[in-house]
A and B are shown apart, each in its own frame.
Chain A
Amino acid sequence: AQSVTQLDSHVSVSEGTPVLLRCNYSSSYSPSLFWYVQHPNKGLQLLLKYTSAATLVKGINGFEAEFKKSETSFHLTKPSAHMSDAAEYFCVVRGGNNNDMRFGAGTRLTVKP
């Protein structure tokens, strides 16, 4: 069975500093991996996805993530945080017999002025 572990439940950064949200995955299959963002009381927005092509994936709003098979990681980064980046971020793995999507526990990003 596939799963993801988000290593930090809460990350706090200052505006203009780098963002790192960590995610490790476990999968018996070659996984597809995703990062979604959810603003308060809103639905999900896809930031980026990895589907076995380039290991460095660029997404929207300046986010990117690197798939590292040797480390079973798919960490999300952004060079410079904006206030509008404050939200909940979910790492998601897709795979398995049903090819369904399984969510990590989420990381709440706080951006301080």
Chain B
Amino acid sequence: GAVVSQHPSRVICKSGTSVKIECRSLDFQATTMFWYRQFPKQSLMLMATSNEGSKATYEQGVEKDKFLINHASLTLSTLTVTSAHPEDSSFYICSARDPGGLEQYFGPGTRLTVT
């Protein structure tokens, strides 16, 4: 089956710094990728939809200047959390849609801790 990877799997950063999370589709090209956030003991909430070569579409309430998304190639999307604060600590999960548009595959997630 199709594989989506994320890097890093865990990251700890200091408050006020920025951190970048990568999402890669390893064996297929994904024109559309999605970023989700999951707080402890809560569900996954869609943050934004990322389309290759165009600006991301953000869900209501998600600050686009804080969560920068870049989808520069068909196999890579990045999420940069800028000026991170402890309340940004969360589990960030990406997913990639296959070229046929019928399947969506999830990455293993990245646990961000902001101290």
Contact = CB atoms under 8 A, between A and B. Distances in A.
Interface of A: 36, 41-44, 51, 90, 94, 98-106
A104 B44 CA distance: 8
Given A100-B34, A100-B49, A43 B109 contact: yes
Interface of B: 34, 36, 42-46, 49, 57, 93, 95, 97, 101-102, 104, 106-109, 111
Given A43-B106, A101-B46, A102-B46, 10 more contacts: A43-B107, A98-B49, A99-B101, A100-B34, A100-B49, A101-B34, A103-B36, A103-B43, A104-B43, A105-B43
Contacts of B34: 100-101
Contacts, number: 37
Contacts of A42: 108
Nearest to B44: A103
17 contacts: A41-B111, A43-B106, A43-B107, A43-B109, A44-B44, A44-B93, A90-B44, A94-B104, A98-B49, A98-B57, A100-B34, A100-B46, A100-B49, A101-B46, A103-B45, A106-B42, A106-B43
Contacts of A94: 104
Contact of B95 (A101, A102, A106): A101
